[in-house]
Chains A and B, each alone.
Chain A
Amino acid sequence: MNQRTWLHAWLMLLPALVMLLAFTHIPALSTLWHSLYLPARSGEQAEFAGLDNYRMLLDDEVFWQALSNNLWYALGTVPTSMVLALVMALWVNSRIRGRTALRLAYFTPTMLPMIAVANIWLFFYSPEIGLFNQLLGSLGLDSINWLGDPDWALPSLMLMTIWKEAGFFMIFYLAALQGLNPDLYAAAALEGASPWYRFRRLTLPLLMPTSLFVLVNAVLNAFKLVDHLFILTKGGPNNATNLLLYYIYENAFAFFDSNYAATLTLVLLVLLILLALLQFTLLERRIHYR
Chain B
Amino acid sequence: MLSRTKRLLAAGLASLVAIAAQAKTELTMYYPVSVGGPLTQVVDGMIEQFEQQNPEIEVNAIYAGNYNDARVKALAALKSGQPAQLSVMFSIDVHELMDQDAIIPFDELVETDEERQWLNSFYPALMENGKVDGVTYGIPFQRSTIVMYYNKDAFREAGLDPERPPQNWDELVEMGQKLVKTDARGQVERWGVMIPSTGYPYWMFGALAKQNGEVLMNSAGNQTWFNKPGVVEALEYWRDLGSRYGVMPEGTIEWGTLRQNFLEQKTAIMWHSTGSLTAVKRNADFDFGVAMLPARKNFGSPTGGGNFYIFKQSTPEERRAALKLVRFMTSPEQAAHWSIETGYIGVSPAAYETEALSRYIKEFPQAAVARDQLKYATAELATHQAGRIRKLLDDAIQSVLNGQAEPEAALNAAQKQAERILSRY
The answer to whether B252 and A148 have CB atoms under 8 Å apart is: yes
A284 CB–B CB distance under 8 Å: no
The answer to whether B260 and A126 have CB atoms under 8 Å apart is: yes
In chain B, what residue has the closest Cβ to A41? B99
In chain B, what residue has the closest Cβ to A136? B187
B80 CB–A CB distance under 8 Å: no
The answer to whether A233 and B257 have CB atoms under 8 Å apart is: no
Residues of B within 8 Å of A143, CB to CB, are 187
Contacts A128-B266, A237-B398 given; does A255 touch B385 at CB 8 Å: yes
DSSP class of A's interface residues: helix, strand, loop or mixed? loop
Interface residues of B (CB under 8 A from A): 68, 71-72, 96, 98-101, 185, 187, 191, 197-199, 249-254, 256-257, 260-261, 264, 266-267, 385, 387-388, 391, 394-395, 398-399, 401-402, 404
In chain A, what residue has the closest Cβ to B413? A61
The answer to whether A140 and B266 have CB atoms under 8 Å apart is: no
Residues of B within 8 Å of A217, CB to CB, are none
Contacts A42-B98, A255-B387 given; does A145 touch B398 at CB 8 Å: no
Cβ contact of A238, chosen from B185, B199, B398, cutoff 8 A: B398
The answer to whether A233 and B266 have CB atoms under 8 Å apart is: no
Residues of B within 8 Å of A42, CB to CB, are 98-101
Q: How far is the CA of A122 from the CA of B261 in the complex (A)?
A: 13
The answer to whether A123 and B251 have CB atoms under 8 Å apart is: no
Q: How far is the CA of A127 from the CA of B165 in the complex (A)?
A: 26
Q: Which of B191, B249, B250 has the most CB of A within 10 A?
A: B249
Q: How far is the CA of A127 from the CA of B391 in the complex (A)?
A: 24
A150 CB–B CB distance under 8 Å: yes
Report the 6 A-B pairs with minimum CB-CB distance, sorted nearest first.
Answer: A42-B101, A128-B266, A148-B252, A148-B251, A254-B387, A238-B398
Cβ contact of A256, chosen from B100, B185, B395, cutoff 8 A: B100
Q: Which of A125-171 contact B (CB under 8 A)?
A: 126-130, 137, 140, 142-143, 145, 147-150
Cβ contact of B68, chosen from A41, A122, A126, A254, cutoff 8 A: A254
The answer to whether B402 and A129 have CB atoms under 8 Å apart is: no
Residues of B within 8 Å of A126, CB to CB, are 254, 257, 260-261
Apart from A236-B398, A254-B387, what 18 extra A-B contacts exist at CB < 8 Å? Answer: A126-B257, A126-B261, A128-B261, A129-B266, A140-B185, A143-B187, A145-B252, A147-B254, A148-B249, A148-B252, A148-B254, A149-B251, A236-B394, A237-B398, A238-B395, A238-B399, A238-B402, A256-B385
Q: How far is the CA of A250 from the CA of B395 in the complex (A)?
A: 14
Q: How far is the CA of A196 from the CA of B71 in the complex (A)?
A: 57
A253 CB–B CB distance under 8 Å: yes
The answer to whether A239 and B395 have CB atoms under 8 Å apart is: yes
In whole Å, how far is B229's beta carbon from the nearest beta carbon of chain A? 23
The answer to whether B251 and A145 have CB atoms under 8 Å apart is: yes
The answer to whether B264 and A149 have CB atoms under 8 Å apart is: no
Q: How far is the CA of A148 from the CA of B252 in the complex (A)?
A: 4
Residues of A within 8 Å of B264, CB to CB, are 128-129
Q: Which of A112-132 contact B (CB under 8 A)?
A: 122-123, 126-130
Residues of B within 8 Å of A256, CB to CB, are 96, 99-100, 385, 387
Would you give the 0/1 interface string for A236-255, flagging 1 where the beta carbon is closer than 8 Å to chain B? 11110000000000100111
Cβ contact of A149, chosen from B71, B257, B402, cutoff 8 A: B402
- What are 12 A-to-B residue pairs whose CB atoms are below 8 Å? A42-B98, A43-B101, A126-B257, A129-B261, A148-B198, A149-B252, A149-B402, A150-B404, A236-B198, A237-B398, A239-B395, A255-B388
In whole Å, how far is B146's beta carbon from the nearest beta carbon of chain A? 19
In whole Å, how far is A237's beta carbon from the nearest beta carbon of chain B? 4
Residues of A within 8 Å of B401, CB to CB, are 237
A276 CB–B CB distance under 8 Å: no
Residues of A within 8 Å of B100, CB to CB, are 42, 256
